[in-house]
Amino acid sequence: MKTNSKNKKLIGAGVLTAVTASLCCITPLLAIFAGASGIASTFSWIEPFRPYLIGITILVLAYAWYQKLRPVTVSANGQEIDCACDEDGKTSFWQSKLFLGIVTVFAVIMLAFPYYSYVFYPVKKSNIIQNVQSNINESTYQVNGLTCESCDQHVEHEVSLLPGYLEAVSDFKTGLVKVKYDNTKSSEQDVIDAINKTGYKIVDTISTVKKEKTFSELILTVNGLTCESCDQHLEHEVSLLPGYLSAVSDYKTGIVKVKYDNSKSSKQDVVDAVNKTGYKVVDTISPVKKEKTFSELILTVNGLTCESCDRNLERQVSQLPGYLAAVSDYKTGIVKVQYDKSKSTEQDVIAAINKTGYKVVDSLK
């Protein structure tokens, strides 16, 4: 009976970790059906731990199958040892290989959910048959909390319900949401409210007027980091700050490097975000914080068709003097570049992109 009890616990653990691994992607879909859009981002914090939950699920189910299929040990007189599970000569359905097989298939379906969740979302249709070009607005937003394609689908669905909706493209990899709508039927505030209603939060609106931002780089020594999961948890927490640009945590050295817009978050905000994780900031490596003025350029680029295009473009831009960061998204055609304006110019960035064969057609910022 001990063996049966162990198998039941293993199967239960396998199902639990499989569901938990995809909970951040399942919740947005449930939010639509339940009519409670705001709960969509509730479990987005689980995303950094997804690879580990997948690994645990595989190990647990593999061990359960080993327990089920391993050869039965017999004594010298031919009697089975420790086999109290089949006292009546029959195995119940809950202890059978069929049930374990059903659980395994269910676990695989749950783990793969982020890759097919889009099929459950309603088809988004434009509410306008004819429109005047001058009435069309196109806005791009920086949104926090997006962790997977299911999050993208949820944001796009919510925006598609607006009067005058034309198009919405969300990309969780860059955190950018691009919306096109008829401004005679919905205002920009309506769009912002629709996105925030999902539980994900707009932290910046990308205007059509180019402006320069001042960024700070902060290097901290942090105690308590022991593994890559710690790094991912800390980086995720810092990424929620307004004006966040990048964060790199290294548990081997205990060093955390953060870049952020100091007009939106302060040094203390960064320290507080790190301490909030339970790990503790014990020192600032750069006692005198040197601030640099960087330029942020957001461009619309034609010719991007796949992730390979994105990588090629990002690699080319990274060779510029003063390069800080570059994110290309072929789905939206938007390329976001941060660089030190004292070492490279806007024209240098555009020339580097055009050199790849893709063409810059517009500057959003």
Specify if 211 maps to a domain: no
Q: Tell me the pLDDT tens digit for each residue of 215-265.
A: 788 888 888 888 888 888 888 888 888 878 778 888 877 888 888 888 888
Pairing assessment for the beta strands 136-144 and 201-206 based on DSSP bridges: antiparallel
Residues 28, 73: one domain? Answer: yes
Domain boundary among 289, 306, 332: 289
Backbone CA torsion sign across 87, 92, 97, 100: negative
Other beta carbons less than 10 A from residue 21's beta carbon: 26
Domain boundary among 162, 178, 206: 206
Residues 7, 76: one domain? Answer: yes
Specify if 103 maps to a domain: yes
Residues 170, 197: one domain? Answer: yes
Looking at residue 273, what is its pLDDT? 92
Q: What range does the domain containing 307 cover?
A: 294-363
Specify if 327 maps to a domain: yes
* Residue in 333, 243, 328 with CA at minimum distance from that of residue 294: 243
CATH number, domain containing residue 176: 3.30.70.100
Specify if 29 maps to a domain: yes
Q: Which of the four pLDDT bands, split at 50, 70 and 90, describes residue 351?
A: very high
Q: Which of the four pLDDT bands, split at 50, 70 and 90, describes residue 209?
A: very low
Specify if 156 maps to a domain: yes
Q: Tell me the pLDDT tens digit for each residue of 278-303.
A: 898 887 764 334 445 678 888 889 98
> Distances from the Cα of 62 to the Cαs of 11, 67, 84, in angstroms?
10, 9, 23
pTM score, whole prediction: 0.41
**DSSP 8-state code for residue 345:** -
Specify if 213 maps to a domain: no
Taking residues 156-171, report their average pLDDT: 87
In terms of pLDDT, which residue wins out, 58 or 45?
58
Q: Tell me the pLDDT tens digit for each residue of 70-126.
A: 776 555 555 555 444 444 445 677 677 787 788 888 878 877 766 666 666 555 554
Specify if 167 maps to a domain: yes
Specify if 6 maps to a domain: yes
* Residue in 285, 267, 272, 250 with CA at minimum distance from that of residue 216: 267
Domains in the chain: how many in total? Answer: 4
Residues 19, 114: one domain? Answer: yes
Residues 115, 13: one domain? Answer: yes
Domain boundary among 104, 119, 134: 119
Residues 36, 68: one domain? Answer: yes
Six-digit token pair at 178?
Answer: 């691009």
